[in-house]
Amino acid sequence: MNKPIPLQTTIVHSLRKYSFEGGYPLFYTGEHNNVHCADCAEECSFDDANYVAHRTEAVNWESEIHCDLCSEKIESAYGYDEDSVEDES
């Protein structure tokens, strides 16, 4: 009798960093309204099923916000970016 060959599958979960419509930067919040970048939200999703149940996705329009886990600045769609401003003096 032939034994079935087990298939190796890899499921790739990837939370979006940008919205489909307009390419706006996204951030995620969990049960306690902690702000997370896409990478940290994805890690939390693997570790905590309760986080997935309460996770929400939002566009960062103009705020300067940072991820509560890795402290990375989350890009804003229309906000002021000091790095891109040239010195006019």
Q: Please give the tally of structural domains in the chain.
A: 1
Q: For each successive 10 residues of the chain (89 residues), what is the average pLDDT?
A: 56 78 91 89 78 85 92 89 53
User: What pLDDT was estimated at residue 59?
Assistant: 94
Do the domain assignments include residue 7?
Answer: no
User: What pLDDT was estimated at residue 81?
Assistant: 59
User: What pLDDT was estimated at residue 11?
Assistant: 47
Residues 6 or more apart whose Cβ sits within 8 Å of residue 9: none
Do the domain assignments include residue 87?
Answer: no
Alpha helices (H) in the chain, listed in sequence order: 38-47, 49-54
C-alpha closest to that of 65 among 29, 32, 89, 31: 29
Do the domain assignments include residue 84?
Answer: no
User: What pLDDT was estimated at residue 54?
Assistant: 80
Domain that holds residue 18: 13-75
DSSP string, 21-44: TTT-BEEEE-TT--EE-HHHHHHH
User: What pLDDT was estimated at residue 10?
Assistant: 46
- For the four alpha carbons of 58, 59, 64 and 68, in that order, the dihedral sign comes to positive
